[in-house]
Chains A and B, each alone.
Chain A
Amino acid sequence: MDLLKRLGLNKYRIDKSSHIQVNLDICRTCVEKPCIKVCPAGTYERSGDVIEVHYERCLECGAALVACPFGAISFRFPEGGVSFRYG
């Protein structure tokens, strides 16, 4: 099943602004972009030298807090965000 369809099964109350910030100056110097591999929600997508952040997909797993080995990602939990029906 496609990732976006899977995410669509969850209930989201999306905040107006992103709870994830990226320091693009650091991001530009990173070749591997491990955040893309680590995030289970596909929140990070490569966009040229840097990443684009789809914060509305976030499952709030917390991996974003350590996904970037260079500390380019700052993350705080959203006020709304995802709610699970099963857990």
Chain B
Amino acid sequence: MSFDADVIVVGGGLAGLSAGIVSNREGLSTLVLERGEYSGSKNVSGGRMYVHALKKLVDIQDAPLERPIVRETYLFRCGSKEVTFSFYDPDSRNSYSVLRAKFDPWLAKKAEEEGVLISYETLVYDAVREGGGVTLRTNRGDLRAKLVIEADGVTAGVSRYLGVRRLDPDFLMLGVKEVVRPEVLPEEGEAKVLVGFLNGLLGGGFVYVNKDTLSIGATVKVSSLQKEKVLAREITEDLREKMGIKGEVLEYSAHLIPYYGFDNLPPLYAPNLLVTGDAAGLLINDGFVIRGMDLAIGSGMVAGQAAKKVLESGDATKTQVYEEMLKESFVMKDMMTARRAFQLMNSERLFKTYPDLLCRVMSRMFTVEGERRRLMDVVREELAGYNLTLSQVLRDLIKVM
């Protein structure tokens, strides 16, 4: 059976483009399939990108990054009460706000300049293993490769078609987002984390400052949407109102987000298949920071290198080397570090109890009614009301640290 390429990458987002670039650099004939009109046309992210991995992949001098994030703000809300704290570092250049419909086409162009073939408007709708490789069924006909790098994002079509996995609402979050041109634009790049703004849904909100727009949105557990009485389509509106953001709405978008954590990761490889980025569940969400983009780039790069090793070995079914290589990279190391945060995120304490508790404690500390209590005593008393002990809280705290 003849093959159309050594490696076919399914998905031309961050993971796919990174895999394509590296695999091509490794001298493998590489084809990237992207269902959108252009890379980025179907992608959504918050989004704030940590650029360490990107810098290793390409020169980022002319990258269409929005603004460096120099201010981190946390907003906790319970009813009408609010606790805010902020960290400011004007020199920080390790993360930037980005808009994917601008960013991904830039990376795609970089890839094409290096000779990577990208076929747009090419939708993979089935995959079968045959003749020592994989046949991908697409709207443009069948394509065959010895090795497929899956980078089709959170819905992991290829893995599902090959019967390697299923999707589960408990391990998925829904992200909803608006891009707004505000009446007043903050002067510097800022990332806001919003806790307690989602009417009981398990999840958090975000606001990122771009060059001339704001990205505002929320990420919520799909299973909590199935249960609660809140409608997904009203979340962004409600949030924008609560934040008092006024201005022209430019776009409304939504996307699923993987929420597996190290202990529940889906298969990262199968015969003739390497899985990267969101498709492999490689995303860190510790309740405060979502990191998917740098892990997508990182895992894509490792997959490109692993592809070379697999094909050199002469047996494209022996793909385990990819997992071994991932374990050596920052991708798995960081997933491992964040594993306990995922355990905590799966409990309601983080989203409901702690914001409440924080407000109550603050509220009592700032209310003077004659008898001034010590902070520790107030905390202990309030904890008792939630059937929590201080050591439990400390254990949780250590999990997210």
Tell me the A residues contacting B by CB distance below 8 Å.
1, 3, 6-7, 9-10, 34, 36-42, 59-63, 65-67, 69, 76-77, 79, 81-87
Contact = CB atoms under 8 A, between A and B. Distances in A.
Contact of B229 (A37, A39, A85): A37
B123 A66 contact: no
B44 interface: yes
Contacts of B256: 61-63
A79 B250 CA distance: 24
Q: Which one of B99, B237, B250, B254 has the highest number of Cβ atoms from chain A below 10 Å of its Cβ?
A: B254
Could you say which interface size class chain B belongs to? 35 or more
A67 B59 CA distance: 41
Interface in B188-221: 213, 215
Contacts of A83: 36-37, 41-42, 101
24 contacts: A3-B233, A9-B250, A10-B251, A10-B252, A10-B253, A34-B226, A37-B231, A39-B233, A40-B174, A59-B252, A59-B253, A61-B174, A66-B169, A69-B226, A77-B35, A77-B157, A79-B139, A83-B101, A84-B101, A86-B99, A86-B102, A87-B41, A87-B101, A87-B103
A42 B234 CA distance: 10
B232 interface: yes
B168 interface: yes
A11 to B, nearest CB: 8
A38 B252 contact: no
B254 to A, nearest CB: 4
Contacts of A61: 44, 174-175, 254-256
B172 interface: yes
Contact of B237 (A1, A76, A77): A1
Contacts of A66: 167-169, 172, 222
A86 B230 contact: no
A1 B226 CA distance: 24
Contact of A67 (B37, B43, B222): B222
B276 interface: no
Residue of A1, A9, A84 with highest tally of chain B CB at under 10 A: A84
Nearest to A5: B249
B46 to A, nearest CB: 10
A6 B213 CA distance: 16
Contacts of A9: 249-252
A16 B72 CA distance: 46
Given A37-B228, A82-B42, 12 more contacts: A40-B174, A59-B254, A62-B154, A66-B167, A66-B168, A84-B42, A84-B100, A84-B253, A86-B213, A86-B215, A87-B45, A87-B100
B255 A62 contact: yes
B233 to A, nearest CB: 5
B179 interface: yes
Interface string B230-265: 111101010000000000011111111000000000
Contacts of B43: 84, 87
B116 interface: no
Contacts of B175: 61
A87 B227 CA distance: 28
A6 to B, nearest CB: 4
Of the candidates B172, B237, B253, the one having the most CB atoms from chain A within 10 angstroms of its own CB is B253
Given A10-B251, A10-B253, A40 B45 contact: no
A1 to B, nearest CB: 5
Contacts of A69: 169, 226
A42 B153 CA distance: 23
Contacts of A10: 251-253
Contact of B42 (A40, A60, A85): A60
A9 B99 CA distance: 16
B155 interface: yes
Closest 10 CB pairs of A and B: A87-B100, A87-B101, A61-B254, A6-B252, A40-B254, A83-B41, A34-B226, A62-B256, A40-B232, A86-B179
Contact of A85 (B168, B172, B251, B255): B251
Contacts of B222: 38, 63, 66-67
